[in-house]
Amino acid sequence: MSPEPTVEQLIAAARARATGDNELALLDAIIAVTRGLAEHTDEAVDQVVRQVRAAGHSWTVIGEHLGVSRQAARQKYADRVERIRQATASGQAIRGRDLEGSLSSALTAAGTDGLSQAGTEHLLLGLLTDGVAAATLEQLGATRDKIRETSRRLFDYPTGQAGAGQPVFSDEAEAALAAAEQLATERTPDCAPIVVNTPQLLAVIATNPGSRARRVLNDLGVDVADIKRLLHCYINLPRTPFGRRSRRAHGSKKQPDRCSFCGHPSSEERRLVAGPEVWICSDCVALCGEILTQPADAQA
């Protein structure tokens, strides 16, 4: 078992993650690092409590070990344990508590804008609610007010009216959620439940060149490379590149080829160019062309 990180190790991790040399940048980074540890701690406890229940132990015994009453233990963990059990048995992905809160906030934001559908720009707003993605966006200067102002300027929103009924997610937003689940699936060992959190969703919508969220980030001057760097320690590297056979696949059914950069599958609109066990889609090729046309000092 790995030892608990020391204060010095946490500060060193924050220094490596900080975007500047001043104390405030370090403060932002240490908040993000420790917040991420707390989220992983909660998920780890949830999973172990599930294992304890599966072994036949009562809520009374679990409460004694947690230092709470039987009723408090059951009230806090029963629903989570059952949700994890069902998802693990079916091989489905579990949405973490931070992600659930973010999705609820995204739908609320769409309703405030008088829209019947929440797009990926609303997912971006929702990600500022809580979790690692919120700390990452805040560290890069993407605040709620800036995102909302930019979205209303870039997109055609109705004015002076409220949306009718509860908004739903747009096709683009639903595709982003599916891609986040795919990302979590590819990067989770077979023996562990698949948990989708805010880092996976932010990684997906930020690296999709055609998404509305990416247009907002570009307009705000947020460098996607910085997002990928800040999220790197929260998203484990895959054992196999996107596009290779899924480790959860059964039999000989071939999984669809996916872009090794953004994770999107091949389609008539998004063709893939193959390399040695890697793929790149047409959108990412176009993005690479845009990057390469910039002066070298602008890419540094």
Query: 202-246 pLDDT, tens per residue?
Result: 999 998 888 899 999 999 999 888 888 888 777 754 433 333 333
CB 211 within 8 A of CB 120: yes
pLDDT digits (tens, 9 = 90+) for 128-171: 988 888 888 988 999 999 999 999 999 988 765 555 578 899 99
* Residue 196 parent element (H or E): strand 194-196
How far apart, in whole angstroms, are the C-alpha atoms of residue 200 and residue 53? 29
**Across all residues in the chain, what is the average pLDDT?**
76
Q: Is pLDDT above 90 for 17?
A: no
Confidence at 24, pLDDT banded by 50, 70, 90: confident
Crossing angle (nearest 10°) for helices 171-186 and 198-207? 120
Q: Comparing 3-7, 71-75, 123-127, which segment has the lowest mean pLDDT?
A: 3-7
At 174, list the tokens: 């639903």
pLDDT digits (tens, 9 = 90+) for 237-291: 443 333 333 334 444 445 567 777 776 777 777 778 876 567 788 877 877 777 7
Q: What is the pLDDT of residue 145?
A: 92
Which residues have C-beta within 8 Å of that of residue 190, sequence separation ≥ 6?
Answer: 247, 248
* Residue 95 parent element (H or E): strand 93-95
Which pTM does this prediction carry?
0.54
pLDDT digits (tens, 9 = 90+) for 65-122: 878 888 887 777 777 666 655 555 555 667 777 888 899 999 999 988 888 899 999 9
Which residues have C-beta within 8 Å of that of residue 296, sequence separation ≥ 6?
Answer: none
What fold characterizes domain 93-238? Double Clp-N motif (1.10.1780)
Q: What is the pLDDT of residue 221?
A: 93
State whether the Cα torsion 147-152-154-156 is positive or negative. positive
Which residues have C-beta within 8 Å of that of residue 19, sequence separation ≥ 6?
Answer: 25, 28, 29, 139, 140, 226
How far apart, in whole angstroms, are the C-alpha atoms of residue 203 and residue 23? 27
Q: What is the pLDDT of residue 95?
A: 78
Q: What is the pLDDT of residue 242?
A: 33
Query: Where in the chain are the domains?
Result: 1-90, 93-238, 240-300
Q: What is the pLDDT of residue 106?
A: 92
How far apart, in whole angstroms, are the C-alpha atoms of residue 281 and residue 289? 13
